[in-house]
A and B are shown apart, each in its own frame.
Chain A
Amino acid sequence: MNRITGVIGALLRRRAAGIAVMLLIFSLVVGLIQPRFLTPDTLRIVMLAIPLIMVAAMGQMMVLVSRHVDLSMGSMLGFTAIVAGMVFRDFPDVPWWVGFIVAISTGAVLGLFNGLVVTIFKLPSIIVTLGTLSLFRGVLFLISDARQVDPQFIPSALIQMSQTSPVFGIPGIVLIAFGVAFLTYLFLDHTRLGRQIYAIGSNPAAAPLRGIRVVPVTLLVFTLSGALSGLAGIMYASRFGYVNPSITGVGFEFTVIAAVVIGGASINGGVGTVLGTVLGVILLGTVSVALPILAVSAFWQDAIFGAVIVIALLIDRSVRERGARSVVAGHRP
């Protein structure tokens, strides 16, 4: 018995393994109650539920690691999606990939704006991005005249990406999401710049003493967060086939932050892994798909989401208090 709890404890200390176990147990329990859950169809639904959250979560995770937070993601997603949608509507001849360039670069500009306000005025990012969450949403209503971009304007090649691809028929946006996760891993774990983000978040006062230029790195992190929100924006257009100023991206930042925090990133900075974040996103995606299958009402779903976050934070704290002699990035035991 002691050995078993010891093994479970060791697993929980490795954050990623802990989430994987939670994911497995949850899937099995749901599968026992409702066998319909354990079918390839469900897997497909889960796969389609996660890509938007995944790409944005990579951005958010980098922001959290640098000891900041980006609350404006939902509006950045809506903003970039509407801009891309309007380009498709007003210039019907542009090819589908122009939408990607437009959305990502628009997002990068919005993110850079967040970063500039945070670094120039030395304001807490939680307040700045709470402000720009409203600001960006307001401006997006103005530029779009509060009009929806209807499905007939979205290029069919773009919509195809949410349905299939030449790679085993896995939807294109799923491939994009995992591709982004892999690139983020290479960046954070294997480049000096990536490690500087961890150093800044771990001890902002000491980072300049080691020659790290905190302001440019912070700007980069916010710009990446915006660019990835832009990527999520164009993926929204692909997946849902329309863009609506008052619906698209609303509340999205909440889901993303929840997934990242469940994935083990610390709101105190310095801590967060790509693997943990990927698993956090999949866990949240699975829960969101399972609840309707279990006939849980939509009202309960929000409450359950919230409970999952609080529980994840409690586990996180107890792990940290034990001294967390875990293995960190780049080292294999």
Chain B
Amino acid sequence: METATTSSAGETVISARGISKQFAGIEVLRDVDLDFRAGEIHALVGENGAGKSTFAKILSGVHRPTRGTLALRGELVEVPNPLTAQRLGITLIHQEPVSFPDLSVAENLVLGRDQGSVLGRVPWAKITRDARESMDQLGINIKVNVPMRGLSIADQQMVEIARALASDSRLIIMDEPTAPLTPIEVETLFKIVRRLRDEGRTIIFISHRLEEVRALCDRITVFRDGNLVHTGDVAAVDDEEIIRLMIGRSLKEYIHKRRTEIGEVALEVKDLCLPGLFSDISFEVRKGEIVGLAGLVGAGRTDVARAIFGITPAHSGTIAVNGKDIGVAEPTEAIALGLAFVPEDRAAAGIFQSLSVEHNITAAVPGRIAPRGFIRHALERALANEAVQKMRIRLASLRQPIGELSGGNQQKSILARWLLTDPSVLIMDEPTRGIDVGVKSEFYDMIGELAESGRAILLISSELPELLALCDRILVMSEGRLTADLSRAEATQENVMREAVPKSGVHSPTVAA
């Protein structure tokens, strides 16, 4: 087994040619040609949605390419599912490992590899012994007879690596493995990954953290908007260049910011702190102002928004609306004070899927549709109807379940819901995610109109062009801290990205509680 699969360093192990992938007609990966060599750690970087994870999933059989071929040591191969990938020696290690939490570590290691009659006896003694051996080989101390459930994420990753080695994987793909780890755990992981490379294995390392890429990887490939834009030695490019490669795309022309009167401070946040998620967050948003909140996924933007709205209140710090200091602890209080929040995950946190459009629209204003405690349907209908006209929501009937509407029209309905509360501060978390371009531009117009009417708007978005075009100011968060407050004139893609990329390589947003 060992002799058959060992490759000499530098030789091409797997080559992808013309790999393309469409989801629901949208091309997320376009004609990717890429070779991976034996004995290298190869970084895949790119913005959220650039296609790097999709590419990794195609290599490991989770997705099948729409077009293109994969060749393993020169021979064309089909990788229809992860089990086949594993037999070909390709393993994908997810950020949060996929395991069987109720089964023991040893059993998790052996499941799927142990070929034999299903009625055959399970060789427990051998399984336990082999598992201990695997752990010893990796030089890690994990008890193999405890359930997976009790292990830390780092230890679960180690078990996954042990599993990859047990099936003698020659290509191990790690999808942002360091994100949930502590600095010490990251060090241990790196040590092991380097050893695997020195054994002649290929490691694909997907990460947002350029510092880590530089410390660990030999070559780097940059993805942008589904295209491979650069492959080369890590040493040959500097950070500036990598960032430029990641974001170098043109602004979308249809977005334009209107000039609005900027008034007095509507939302003031001071020293907001929630240990483990974010710390020292201070900023203000004025009437008529659109302030963007940029950052990579996991930077803590959503957590700050949730804290302001009182869903998961901050540990310390103050929030003031229209000059009044408030201690928001509950969303109902936040609504009463004039805050409104359009959440990120529409399906899970925004809509009541099976309720009608009209119930969804009027959900935040029970007092207005039920003046004496009983709902007056005529009142509810009139309010909803007015909102539908104003927001140009396309629907068959007000009684239709909201789940049947398109994403864009669902999002408009949620916005309509919050406008009924007549908020002075509107917080929107990724409002344009997953809605099509036509509706997007309508949405931008609406955000502009809302600002014109004197509302303060805090806009969280991962689409930089959107923020750059819409916002008067852009705040940048990285690893739980505010790293920049850029005016419209200062804000460029490069500036924002530079501040958004973690500098430390150390994942600990807060030092003390």
Binding site for B on A (CB under 8 A): 189-196, 198-199, 201-203, 205-207, 209-212, 266, 269-271, 323-333
Contact = CB atoms under 8 A, between A and B. Distances in A.
A196 B106 CA distance: 14
Nearest to A326: B147
Contact of B145 (A201, A212, A266, A327): A327
B115 to A, nearest CB: 9
B191 to A, nearest CB: 26
B416 to A, nearest CB: 35
A325 B146 contact: yes
Interface stretch (B96-104, B422-430, B466-474): B96-104
B336 to A, nearest CB: 35
Nearest to A268: B102
A39 B386 CA distance: 79
B106 A190 contact: no
Contacts of B144: 331
Contacts of A193: 118-119
A324 B151 CA distance: 10
Given A210-B111, A328-B145, A203 B106 contact: no
B119 A211 contact: no
Interface of B: 81-83, 98-104, 106-107, 111-112, 114, 116-122, 124, 127-128, 144-147, 149-150
Contacts of A203: 98-101
Given A270-B102, A331-B124, A331-B145, A210 B112 contact: yes
Given A210-B83, A327-B146, A190 B122 contact: yes
A270 B83 contact: no
B145 A192 contact: no
29 contacts: A189-B122, A191-B118, A191-B120, A192-B119, A193-B119, A195-B103, A195-B111, A195-B122, A199-B103, A199-B111, A203-B99, A207-B100, A209-B81, A209-B82, A211-B112, A212-B111, A212-B112, A266-B102, A270-B100, A327-B146, A328-B145, A329-B104, A330-B107, A330-B122, A330-B124, A331-B104, A331-B106, A331-B124, A332-B145
What are the 6 closest A-B residue pairs judged by CB atoms, nearest first? Answer: A210-B112, A270-B102, A331-B145, A202-B102, A193-B118, A202-B100
A198 to B, nearest CB: 6
Contacts of A189: 122
A65 B3 CA distance: 41
B100 A199 contact: yes
A107 to B, nearest CB: 21
B83 A211 contact: yes
A209 B150 contact: no
Contacts of B103: 195, 198-199, 202, 270, 328
The interface centre, meaning the residue of B100, B106, B119, B121 with most chain A CB atoms within 10 A of its CB, is: B100
Contact of B99 (A206, A211, A324): A206
B41 to A, nearest CB: 25
A325 B83 contact: no
A111 to B, nearest CB: 19
Nearest to B113: A210
Contacts of B149: 323-324
B25 to A, nearest CB: 26
Contacts of A192: 114, 116-120, 122
A331 B144 CA distance: 9
A194 B128 CA distance: 18
A325 B147 CA distance: 7
B3 to A, nearest CB: 26
Contacts of A271: 102
Contacts of A331: 104, 106, 124, 128, 144-145
Given A191-B122, A210-B112, A331-B124, 10 more contacts: A189-B122, A191-B119, A193-B119, A195-B122, A198-B103, A270-B101, A330-B104, A330-B127, A331-B145, A333-B145
Contacts of A269: 102
Contacts of A202: 100-103
A127 to B, nearest CB: 18
A287 to B, nearest CB: 28
Contacts of B99: 203, 206
A193 B111 CA distance: 11
Contacts of A270: 100-103
The interface centre, meaning the residue of B99, B102, B120 with most chain A CB atoms within 10 A of its CB, is: B102
A91 B104 CA distance: 52
A172 B14 CA distance: 64
A100 to B, nearest CB: 23
Nearest to B150: A325
The interface centre, meaning the residue of A190, A195, A326, A333 with most chain B CB atoms within 10 A of its CB, is: A195
A121 to B, nearest CB: 21
B135 to A, nearest CB: 14
Contacts of A328: 102-104, 107, 145-147
A66 to B, nearest CB: 12
Contacts of B147: 324-326, 328
Contacts of B82: 209
Contacts of A206: 98-100
Contacts of A323: 149-150
A16 to B, nearest CB: 16
A187 to B, nearest CB: 9
A330 B82 CA distance: 27
Contacts of B124: 190, 330-331
A333 B146 CA distance: 9
Contacts of B118: 191-193, 196
Contacts of A207: 100
B166 to A, nearest CB: 13
Nearest to A191: B119
A195 B83 CA distance: 18
B108 to A, nearest CB: 9
A310 B112 CA distance: 37
The interface centre, meaning the residue of A202, A203, A269, A327 with most chain B CB atoms within 10 A of its CB, is: A202
A203 B107 CA distance: 13
A229 B145 CA distance: 34
A174 B121 CA distance: 27
Nearest to A327: B145
Contacts of A205: 98
Contacts of A324: 147, 149-150
A210 B111 CA distance: 6
Contacts of A325: 146-147, 150
A194 B106 CA distance: 16
The interface centre, meaning the residue of A190, A193, A207, A329 with most chain B CB atoms within 10 A of its CB, is: A329
Contacts of B104: 328-331
Nearest to A196: B118
The interface centre, meaning the residue of A266, A329, A330, A331 with most chain B CB atoms within 10 A of its CB, is: A331
